[in-house]
């Protein structure tokens, strides 16, 4: 995309080409050719024609860069050029989209298996009209389908289209800002005013902000696949989606200082820091930030509530279909799965520091494509109790009240348990015997405590 300075340069060149200096055309061509001998195979006329053609199309591109359609916002790191999208709806106004906004430095090389760092700044206007790459993940679907939401598994072809462009340089945000359409002023009552004037009716208050944390069992997904335009316009709220490191790259842990883990959670915390520093430039209120998520995203929301690292970075939370005490929320055997991975890729070192150094030298594809299957309803790579980001077992933290005071909304999504009865061939429902078996199997696999299983089974049956 062309910057303003480039357009100025091309305009100046066009003016120079149109001017009529005292020298003849032949002299000007000879002078130009004498200074560009590497292009001696071109005649002066063909070179000037080519340059004129390039300038014509470049200027046309500059002229098409309509500021009303491509708004520019200044952040603490540099300027962003977004795109304004019309939702073609009588009720919902246009939404400004700023896509692929970096919130951290690329976690590559020595930064792999390390906490995120603040992004670098840029001098020119950065184009923010396209999605950035997604974080590396296995596109072959080795993750058990039972661990993924129905909407995802039933639309794998669509979802796969969003996760093809992968890179470790993936820590980016997408920001959706509602705007007002139509008349922005109204006439005041002329009878009550000596000099009638237009009254500005725009809502100039800073807007609340919502950060969405996607799910996918900590292994799959991207914020790119969630278009937040309608939610932003309907709720008059700035909605932000994000990518965070997944699977091996986001949560590998040796249980010691060599690789503490929880990098994906730290990415989310870094995104919140970025929003607190910069969302005001987009008209957002850093004092009214809500985090929300579904599935593993909801578990992340719960863990952020329990972490002192996120203190003061958000103020409300919404958790849909996931908590930090689910069987799959926390990995209590991180070193076990790290060693399994290390053996698969030829990093069989006894010292964890050497093992991690070896894993850093592998390509991300070598790591994320390994098929490591945990027990049913559990995870191989996910958040761990590291004594820092997750200071203790989430259940203990909740029992002891070790969390800050937030406004919290907790619930489940429609059709939550459909995946567990997905194998039923009866279109009219499920038989009583099959239902009893499904409930018993679910409780036995998911509920880790021997006490109370019978009561839990009967409670679920009563509910349905």
Model confidence, pTM: 0.77
Cα radius of gyration rounded to whole Å, the chain: 28
Alpha-carbon distances, residue 312 vs 7, 214, 305 (angstroms): 43, 22, 10
pLDDT (tens, 9 = 90+) of the chain, 464 residues, equals 444 434 433 343 333 334 444 444 444 444 444 444 444 444 455 545 555 554 544 444 444 567 678 999 999 999 999 999 999 988 899 999 999 999 999 999 999 999 999 999 999 999 999 999 999 998 765 444 445 554 455 555 666 666 789 999 999 999 999 997 644 445 555 555 555 556 555 567 899 999 999 999 999 999 999 999 999 999 999 999 999 999 999 999 999 999 999 999 999 999 999 999 999 999 999 999 999 999 999 999 999 999 999 999 999 999 998 999 988 899 999 999 999 999 999 999 999 999 999 999 999 999 999 989 887 778 999 999 999 999 999 999 999 887 778 999 998 877 666 666 665 555 666 788 888 888 888 787 766 666 778 888 888 888 77
Chain length of the chain: 464
Place of tokens 């490191």: 245
CA dist 248 to 191, 251, 342, 374, Å? 70, 6, 11, 13
List, in order of start, the domains of the chain with CATH numbers. 72-182+201-411 (3.40.50.1820), 423-463 (no CATH)
What's the pLDDT score for residue 268? 99
pLDDT at position 422, please? 61
Q: What's the pLDDT score for residue 380?
A: 94
CB-CB contact of 113 with 263 (8 Å): yes
Residue 241 pairs in a beta bridge with: 174, 212
**pLDDT value, residue 28:** 43
Rounded CA-CA distance 142/121 in Å is: 38
d(CA 381, CA 388): 18
Rounded Cα gap, residues 146 and 419, in angstroms: 7
Give CA–CA dist 93/71, Å, rounded: 15
What are the structure tokens assigned to 357, written together? 């150094």
């Amino acid at each position: 995309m062309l910057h303003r300075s480039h357009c100025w340069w091309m305009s100046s060149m066009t003016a120079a080409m149109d001017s009529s200096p005292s020298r003849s055309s032949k002299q000007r061509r000879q002078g130009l050719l004498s200074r560009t001998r590497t292009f001696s195979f071109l005649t002066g006329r063909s070179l000037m024609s080519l340059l004129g053609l390039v300038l014509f199309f470049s200027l046309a591109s500059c002229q098409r860069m309509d500021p009303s359609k491509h708004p520019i916002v200044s952040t603490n790191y540099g300027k962003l050029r977004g795109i304004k999208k019309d939702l073609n709806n009588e009720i919902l106004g246009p939404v400004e989209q700023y896509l692929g906004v970096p919130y951290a430095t690329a976690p590559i090389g020595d930064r792999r298996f390390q906490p995120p760092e603040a992004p670098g700044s840029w001098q020119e206007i950065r184009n923010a009209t396209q999605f950035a790459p997604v974080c590396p993940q296995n596109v072959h679907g080795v993750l058990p389908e039972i661990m993924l939401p129905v909407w995802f598994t039933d639309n794998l072809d669509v979802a796969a289209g969003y996760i093809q462009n992968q890179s470790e340089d993936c820590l980016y945000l997408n920001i959706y800002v509602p705007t007002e359409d139509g008349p922005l002023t109204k006439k005041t009552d002329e009878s009550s005013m000596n000099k009638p004037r237009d009254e500005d009716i725009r809502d100039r208050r800073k807007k609340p902000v919502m950060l969405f944390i996607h799910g996918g069992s900590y292994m799959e997904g991207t914020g790119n696949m969630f278009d937040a335009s309608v939610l932003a316009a309907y709720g008059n709220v700035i909605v932000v989606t994000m990518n965070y490191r997944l699977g091996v790259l986001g949560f590998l842990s040796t249980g010691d200082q060599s690789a503490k883990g929880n990098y994906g959670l730290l990415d989310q915390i870094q995104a919140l820091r970025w929003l607190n520093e910069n969302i005001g430039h987009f008209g957002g209120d850093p004092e009214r930030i809500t985090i929300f998520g579904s599935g593993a995203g909801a578990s992340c929301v719960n863990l952020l509530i329990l972490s002192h690292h996120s203190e003061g970075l958000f103020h409300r939370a919404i958790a849909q279909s996931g908590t930090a005490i689910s069987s799959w929320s926390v990995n209590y055997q991180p070193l076990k799965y790290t060693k399994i991975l290390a053996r698969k890729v030829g990093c069989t070192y006894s010292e964890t520091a050497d093992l991690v150094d070896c894993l850093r030298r592998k390509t991300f594809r070598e790591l994320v494509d390994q098929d490591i299957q945990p027990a049913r309803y559990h995870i191989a790579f996910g958040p761990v109790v590291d004594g820092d980001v997750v200071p203790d077992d989430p259940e203990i933290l909740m029992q002891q009240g070790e969390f800050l005071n937030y406004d919290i909304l907790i619930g489940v999504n429609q059709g939550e348990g459909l995946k567990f009865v997905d194998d039923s061939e009866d279109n009219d429902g499920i038989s009583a015997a099959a239902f009893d078996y499904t409930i018993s199997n679910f409780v036995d696999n998911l509920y880790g405590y021997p006490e109370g299983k019978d009561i839990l089974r009967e409670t679920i049956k009563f509910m349905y």
